[in-house]
């Protein structure tokens, strides 16, 4: 009898566990996203315009998708498009509190000579050995494209233009600009000074996203300094009211270059062309690409950062479920009227055993369009999920004996609630 009773007890526990495993309610699986009827008819998309430029790219701002391009990763002389990175580094130093808008910046002989006097480069007409407020130098560099202003800013931030170029390259690497290397802050021709249309688009997107207040300078059409009126060199600011930046550039080696961005009905695009025969061709090419992109594509915000997308079963935890979501907004840019071709799925391990920390990746969100991958985002834990007490862990350990499956399951993501005519808001808030 002493042996039979423990065996009966074990059998009873096993039977109860099996019964519980079969009857215990599990979190409902998310329903498959419906296939909404497009609110705009599907129309054939013509080929993208072909600008008269050596290299060009059209990028969606919200997600970095490339809508059209030609030779976008070719390394080319960037001319004054370089100053977008100079602006980016200065903006980062301002945000960090290392420099300030009201700083008095000394104009050295190097900035005066290399940036303006005695050269055929663009200048902000700065006086040798003068002290100029930093905010005025920023306007002179961004609006007038003053080389002297760019060099003076570089020297103020890093002590020398060479040291500042090292900072530029460090930021370029951090942003994933794989075909870029800077030697100076102005874009003046130099050996081993290059970038690509794709990299300039990546940089421009980062500037708008991370430093939107400073980016506003890009749309100012004129600026008076020391009694001299200086005009913005971007011709699209006058011809297209939706354009609010970004930068022009030209040298004999680089040809004419133009990086531009426009915001229409909540959707923002970034376009870059390099190596045009003149600025009129550069502006015409950029504007044609912008019109094509806005006419035939739409950007949709699918899921928000922090939104709970799944609550799978959690084993041995204080809670019975684990909240999963994404750390950044997920958006896609697709042809107008073809929202029904989107499919979103979640890949989640079948066994999730506590503990988990907030931000820990445990799965993947995948979004495809007509079978082609568009978005791959880590599925992360929304809040800490500590272990449960002793008896909770013991009971779940018993139940796991009867739980089959130790791989990964793929389920539909929650319903996307935007319509095919609803765009994502842009620009995004800085972070």
What amino acid positions are annotated as catalytic residues?
A: 80, 83, 145
The CB density around residue 371, as the number of other CB atoms within 10 Å, is: 7
Among residues 272, 210, 213, 225, the alpha carbon closest in space to that of 247 is found at 272
- Report strand pairing: 408-412 vs 330-335: unpaired
Quote the CA–CA distance of 100 and 251 in Å, as a whole number.
Answer: 32
Query: What is the residue-wise DSSP string for 86-152?
Result: HHHHHHHHHHTTSS-TTPEEE--HHHHHHHTTTSSS----PPTT-EEEHHHHHHHHHTS--HHHHHH
First-residue to last-residue Cα distance in the chain: 70
Among residues 239, 214, 217, 211, the alpha carbon closest in space to that of 230 is found at 217
Edge-to-edge strand ranges of the sheet holding 66-70? 66-70, 55-60, 267-276, 255-264, 243-251
Q: Which run of H or of E encompasses 414?
A: none
Among residues 65, 175, 72, the alpha carbon closest in space to that of 424 is found at 65
């Amino acid at each position: 009898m002493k042996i039979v009773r423990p065996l009966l007890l074990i059998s009873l526990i096993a039977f109860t566990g099996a019964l519980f495993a079969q009857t215990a309610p599990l979190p409902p699986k998310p329903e498959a996203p419906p296939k909404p009827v497009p609110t705009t008819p599907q129309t054939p998309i013509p080929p993208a315009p072909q600008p008269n430029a050596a290299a060009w790219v059209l990028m969606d701002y919200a997600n970095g998708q490339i809508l059209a391009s030609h030779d976008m990763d070719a390394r080319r002389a960037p001319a004054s498009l370089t100053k977008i990175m100079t602006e980016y580094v200065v903006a980062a130093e301002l945000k960090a509190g290392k420099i300030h808008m009201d700083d008095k910046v000394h104009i050295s002989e190097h900035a005066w000579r290399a940036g303006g006097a005695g050269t055929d480069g663009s200048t902000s007409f700065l006086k040798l050995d003068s002290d100029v407020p930093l905010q005025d130098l920023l306007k002179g560099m961004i609006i007038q494209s003053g080389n002297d202003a760019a060099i003076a800013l570089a020297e103020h931030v890093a002590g020398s233009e060479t040291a500042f170029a090292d900072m530029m390259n460090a930021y370029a690497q951090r942003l994933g600009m794989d075909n870029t290397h800077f030697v100076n802050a102005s874009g003046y021709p130099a050996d081993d000074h290059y970038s690509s249309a794709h990299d300039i688009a990546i940089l421009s997107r980062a500037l708008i996203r991370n430093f939107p207040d400073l980016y506003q300078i890009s749309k100012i059409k004129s600026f008076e300094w020391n009694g001299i009126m200086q005009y913005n060199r971007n011709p699209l600011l006058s011809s297209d009211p939706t354009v609010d930046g970004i930068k022009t550039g030209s040298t004999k080696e680089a040809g004419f270059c133009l990086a531009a961005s426009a915001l229409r009905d909540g959707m923002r695009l970034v376009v870059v062309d390099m190596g045009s025969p003149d600025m009129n061709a550069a502006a015409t090419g950029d504007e044609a690409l912008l019109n094509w992109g806005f006419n035939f594509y739409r950007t949709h915000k699918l899921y928000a950062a922090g939104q709970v997308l799944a609550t799978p079963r959690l084993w041995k935890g204080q809670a019975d479920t684990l909240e999963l979501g994404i750390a950044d907004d997920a958006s896609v840019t697709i042809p107008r009227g073809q929202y029904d071709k989107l499919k979103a799925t979640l890949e989640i391990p079948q066994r999730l055993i506590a503990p988990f920390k907030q931000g820990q990746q445990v799965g993947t969100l995948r979004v495809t369009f007509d079978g082609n991958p568009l978005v791959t985002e880590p599925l992360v834990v929304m809040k800490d999920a500590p272990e449960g007490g002793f008896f909770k862990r013991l009971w779940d350990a018993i139940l796991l004996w009867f739980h089959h499956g130790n791989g990964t399951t793929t389920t539909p993501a929650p319903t996307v609630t935007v319509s095919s005519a609803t765009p994502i808001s842009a620009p995004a808030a800085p972070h």
